[in-house]
Amino acid sequence: MKPLLIIGLGNPLMGDDSAGLRVSDLLASDSAVTNAADVIAGGTDLLSSMDRIEGRTRVILVDAVESLSDPGRISVIEGPLLEERAEYVHSLSAAQAVELMRQVMPGLQGTRFTWVLVHVASARVLQQMSPEVAAVVPLAAAVVKGLL
Amino acid sequence: MSTIVIEHLARVEGHGGITVELEGDTVTNVHFDVFEGARLLEPLVRGKRYDEVAPILSRICSICSAAHTLTSLKATENAFGIRVSPQTELLRELLFRGESIESHSLHLFLLALPDYLNYPSAIAVAADKPAAVLLGLRLKKLGNSIQEVIGGRAVHPVNTVLGGFGKVPAIDELIGLRSNLMQALGDCDTVIDIIASLPAADFCHSDTLYAALRSPNLDSYYTGDEVMVMSNGNRAIVNAADYRSLTNEKSVPHSNAKHSTFRGSPFMVGSLARLTVNPRRLTGKLAVAMKRLKLQLPADNPMDNNKAQALELINDVERALEIIEQLIRNGIKDERPIPVHPRAGTGTAITEAPRGLLIHSYTYDEQGHVVSADVITPTALNAASIELHFRRAVEQCAERDEAVIGKRLQMIARAYDPCISCSVHLVRRR
């Protein structure tokens, strides 16, 4: 197990909600990344990846965030993610899951959490992403790579 | 006229709310509002090849991904006349049990428990009572580990294919699961201790119609093709192929989820319905736990669904152990999936997902492409029953205090453990 874990979040059937997964797919095929970090697709239930998170020194979470005005923007947030539920594209809150895990798993107290958020306008049933979000997936992957 | 509106129903999966309209003390209207956008997943599989359907529909829900996958496979196998081996049936049942352990522990300890203890969230509970939350997370992890070994992943299984499994688990993996499950038996006792110690939630009573998969000779979430509908000693059987006579889906203006009624009456599905329809399961440790929880069947209180989930956690762990013992005893065979020969026809499957009856029905053309698909989830089946119980709770509440009524209604909604995002299909809001 490597000390660094990258988790892509989202639903591949929900259009732009899958941005985090598409980024982690790209990173998983890049040996420069996989030499330094484990990369997994976390789907929409972060608590199911609890076992994989435990014992890491750093976890990078890549997720979609709803942003009507600025789709395609990428932002990086270190530490706790303050959210309002409505801002999230899929209804299970990954931020709350991280907060809960940190509270009850003493081993995570020293773990550094970094969020890489891909801003999307909406999530609806589609197997493809919108052109503006698809275009920034390689950019988001490069942002994650820059964090390693 | 006064109106009570709960705009956002917290701690359920998906986006929903509640509206109650009152004329004086009389309840004139109650709505369980499902705001979640229509997912339109059924048209997404139209035209797809038979082997693409289950992986797509598994994505309807991350909590019930195994149930959607296995129900989808069962429906397609029924359409093509495939009969899987007894070993495959056992492994699929085991996968169902893993998912049920995961889902019930998540619901009881992270979503329902804060209500009883007057905390706003599981995070707040964890600050004061970390042991209870850790217990829930430990059991959830156990459920995930079963799904990982059998399904190949903790969510959205990849090892489950038409006619069987891509790879059967190794004996060592089963022995590892057995060891974890045996340790979990102690945790199950603690679950009952905690649930038995909670304050009574005694604010909604109503005659209730229950519907669940009928398991006359075995305890199963997966096998079986008949649903039993029960109320006050009256029973009716509905065959899977005739599922529309059970669901009678109709659109309602306030919700993106269709409502189902059986012969004009709402019905409840889920843990409480399963125990009511299949009481033969309630022996040994379960019978003792049931007494401790003061649960009597048939129940007239929807809040008892939480107690039923606690009992099912024990049952799931025990049943998973039995299945693993049987697989180890028989020696696991390295079976290959049964070859698929597509043909035109319709296949329907009914199973018990953690939240209740799950129905998938597909019609295929001769080449094995989907002509039409129908997916009906437990929360959609429960929607009319949830509204009925909201109404009874308001009628039976002596206080007309919005905060008191609001809290009770939210507790009832959460006791149903609704997955609102799953319940939405093929309907557009008017």
Residues 6+ apart with CB under 8 A from B159: B150, B151, B152, B153, B165, B166, B167
Does A89 score more than 70 pLDDT? no
> CA torsion B338→B340→B346→B352, rounded to 10°?
40
Query: Which residues on chain B are in Cβ contact (under 8 Å) with A49?
Result: 154
Q: Where does the pLDDT of residue B2 fall: very low under 50, low under 70, confident under 90, or very high at 90 and above?
A: confident
Q: How far apart are CA A44 and CA B134, in angstroms?
A: 21
Residues 6+ apart with CB under 8 A from B41: A13, A125, B56, B57, B59, B60, B375, B425
Mean pLDDT of chain B: 90
What percentage of chain A reaches a pLDDT higher than 90?
A: 50
User: 3-class DSSP state for residue A79?
Assistant: coil
Examine residue B428 and state whether it is found in any structural domain, yes or no.
no
Q: Where does the pLDDT of residue B403 fall: very low under 50, low under 70, confident under 90, or very high at 90 and above?
A: confident
Residues 6+ apart with CB under 8 A from A36: A2, A4, A148
pLDDT in tens, B325-341: 999 999 999 999 999 99
Q: Looking at residue A92, what is its pLDDT?
A: 43
A11:B122 CB<8 A: no
Whether B161 contacts B73, CB under 8 Å: yes
Its ipTM equals 0.78
Task: Give backbone dihedrals phi and psi of B29, rounded to 5 degrees, phi first.
Answer: -155, 140
Examine residue B430 and state whether it is found in any structural domain, yes or no.
no
Q: Looking at residue B430, what is its pLDDT?
A: 21
Does A86 score more than 50 pLDDT? no
Whether A62 contacts A18, CB under 8 Å: no
In chain A, where the domains are located: 4-147
Whether B49 contacts B368, CB under 8 Å: yes
CA B186 to chain A, closest CA, distance in angstroms equals 20
Does B23 score more than 90 pLDDT? no
Does B36 score more than 60 pLDDT? no
pLDDT in tens, B346-369: 999 999 999 999 999 999 999 999
The residue range of the domain holding B353 is 2-423
- Concatenating the DSSP letter of every residue in B208-244 gives --EEEE--SSS--SSS--EEEEEETTEEEEEEGGGTH
> Measured between CB atoms, which of A50, A99, A125 is closest to B137?
A50
Between A108 and B77, the more confident residue is: B77
CA A32 to chain B, closest CA, distance in angstroms equals 25
The total number of structural domains that make up chain B: 1
Q: How far apart are CA B295 and CA A97, in angstroms?
A: 32
Does B48 score more than 90 pLDDT? yes
Examine residue B259 and state whether it is found in any structural domain, yes or no.
yes
Examine residue B69 and state whether it is found in any structural domain, yes or no.
yes
The top-level CATH class assigned to A4-147 is alpha beta
Does B188 score more than 70 pLDDT? yes
Q: Looking at residue B40, what is its pLDDT?
A: 66
> Measured between CB atoms, which of B65, B123, B154 is closest to A96?
B123
B13:A47 CB<8 A: no
> Measured between CB atoms, which of A13, A45, A92 is closest to B41?
A13
**In terms of CA atoms, which chain A residue is nearest residue B60?**
A13
* Two structure tokens written together for B201: 């939630």
Examine residue B167 and state whether it is found in any structural domain, yes or no.
yes
Q: How far apart are CA B102 and CA B37, in angstroms?
A: 26
Scan residues 94-113 of A and list those with Cβ closer than 8 Å to B.
96, 99-101, 103-104
Range of weakest confidence among A1-5, B98-102, B282-286: B282-286
Task: Give backbone dihedrals phi and psi of A37, rounded to 5 degrees, phi first.
Answer: -150, 155
Between A85 and B425, the more confident residue is: A85
Q: Where does the pLDDT of residue B14 fall: very low under 50, low under 70, confident under 90, or very high at 90 and above?
A: low
CATH number at residue B197: 1.10.645.10
